[in-house]
Amino acid sequence: MADEYLNQIALRIRGLRKQKKWSQAEVRDRIKQVSGLNVAESTLYAYERPSRSKDKQATGYAFPTELIPVIAKIYGFKTATGWLPKEI
């Protein structure tokens, strides 16, 4: 169940970026501007990509909790968790 939620987070992050029509480089720059964190574009790609293991179980990607409020801020949410998908 947690793995499925990680995949929902990945899809949500990608959806938010696409709604804004931002590149991953633009998201990276906004994260740096807001938080001072350096996140590589390849890492952002991994956060956006839901994945599956060889037995077709969702595996997701470990999204760091310190980015939750940063993502909220760059996308204009009023609360740190406002962008997160509803729990399964």
Task: Give the domain ranges of the chain.
Answer: 2-74
What does pTM read for this prediction? 0.82
Residue 76 is given by DSSP the state: T
Span 12-25, average pLDDT: 96
Report pLDDT for 59.
47
Average pLDDT, the chain: 87
Span 23-51, average pLDDT: 93
Tell me the helix, strand and coil percentages in the chain, rounded to 5: 55, 0, 40
Please determine, for residue 51, whether its predicted confidence score (pLDDT) is greater than 80: no
Report pLDDT for 24.
94
